Amino acid sequence: MAGGESSDCHIVPTGDNNIFRLWVRLSPPKDDTSRYLSASTVIAGCRCHAFYWPTRTGIVALALCVWNCAAAKVSAHMVLLDKTGTPAPSIGIGKSSNIANGGFVLSARRDHVKANCVVDNYFVALCSVDIGCRSVSGLIPPCAPPDSSIKNNELPDLGHDLAIMSGKQELTDVCFDVRGESFSAHRLVLAARSPVFRAELYGPMAESKMTSIPIKDMEASTFITMLHYMYHGSLPDAGKTDASFTVAEYQHLLIAADRYGIERLKKYCEDKLSVNGITVDSVVSMLELAEDHVCSKLKARCLDFLADADNFKIVGTSGNTQSHF
């Protein structure tokens, strides 16, 4: 296989050592289906390789791999940038991958990338790699489980204290405008929870210099719920009643979590929808949701539901073969 860093595929560093931009020339597909382009960099002593396959007709395929890394946890993420240099998670489908120590794969329709992301025949993917740390006794994860505490001298939950500060507008340093409503937050908290927010708020994007950032294509109720989860590690009133959230709210929250790379929240929503969200009226839209946002468990549950002859017959004759979500 031929590959290697060149002007067609190269890495440009940012002000953050864990974030870099991958510049790729949108070359026409080649006859050699084994051909790929690659570029590499080193983050915290770990070798990071980015790959691009220009050979797949109709598809832009990228991968980010981390090699030779003994860290406890490696988390990689990629998002395409639009022509203004703003992250555009709606263009393409990305998912975590068990490539080497950690990795991420991203694919998008070539015509979508060309129309929305290409400037002077180049498109850019913003890449981030979070690598766990070591302790004297060995490897440790970057953070403790949400319910861990010091029993004899228990400290208040830091996320809870920060959330209280946010509610009182104390020390907040960024504001989001969602459907005409304003929500204040702490950049550092959002960056710690979301690789996309981290890239927007501390990278080379225009948002890093903005005090008020507009959020498009999202309801205010979805955003505030996502914000609550980022501070608390749980949903509002979680544990009191599962009926406090509707199926539609879980659907919208899953989309938001996927958009900002909040994998635990995405999985939580997928689990809820897999158990309570699949009916003859919703299975088609659920299957579409699972396909669009790479939810393998939800997809499997939808297909199991349709494998039942009675369910399949009802869905096929009820006019629900088109998604209404």
The model's pLDDT over 232-291, given as tens digits with 9 standing for 90+, comes to: 888 886 554 455 689 999 999 999 999 999 999 999 999 999 998 899 888 999 999 999
* Domain formed by 158-277, architecture: 2-Layer Sandwich (3.30)
For residues 195 and 198, give the distance between their C-alpha atoms in angstroms, rounded to a whole number: 5
In which residue ranges of the chain is CATH 3.30.710.10 found?
Answer: 158-277
**pLDDT over 90, % of the chain:** 25
| Count of C-beta atoms within a 10 Å radius of residue 212 | 11
| pLDDT score for 71 | 57
Q: Does residue 96 carry a pLDDT above 80?
A: no
Q: Does residue 30 carry a pLDDT above 70?
A: no
Identify the band that residue 146 occupies on the pLDDT scale cut at 50, 70 and 90. Answer: very low
In which residue ranges of the chain is CATH 2.60.210 found?
Answer: 9-133
**pLDDT over 70, % of the chain:** 74
Identify the band that residue 223 occupies on the pLDDT scale cut at 50, 70 and 90. Answer: very high
| pLDDT score for 324 | 40
pLDDT in tens, 58-90: 888 888 888 766 655 777 888 898 888 888 888
Q: Does residue 5 carry a pLDDT above 80?
A: no
For residues 286 and 283, give the distance between their C-alpha atoms in angstroms, rounded to a whole number: 5
Mean pLDDT of 188-204: 87
Strand partners, 48: 41, 66
DSSP 10-78: EEEE-SSTTEEEEEEE-PPPPS-TT--EEEEEEETTEEEEEEEETTSTTEEEEEEEEES---S-EEEEE
DSSP 184-253: EE-HHHHHHH-HHHHHHHHSSSGGGG-SEEEE-SS-HHHHHHHHHHHHHSS-TTTTT-GGGS-HHHHHHH
Q: Give the dihedral of Cα atoms 110, 111, 115, 121; nearest 10 deg.
A: 50
Q: Quote the mean pLDDT of the chain.
A: 78
Longest dimension (CA), the chain: 67
Q: Which CATH number fits domain 9-133: 3.40.30, 2.60.210, 2.60.40, 3.90.930?
A: 2.60.210
Q: Residue 294: what residue type?
A: V
| pLDDT score for 204 | 75
Higher pLDDT, 209 or 29: 209
For residues 278 and 314, give the distance between their C-alpha atoms in angstroms, rounded to a whole number: 14
Identify the band that residue 298 occupies on the pLDDT scale cut at 50, 70 and 90. Answer: very high
Higher pLDDT, 137 or 303: 303
| pLDDT score for 165 | 67
Mean pLDDT of 36-57: 81
Q: Give the dihedral of Cα atoms 224, 211, 23, 83; nearest 10 deg.
A: 90
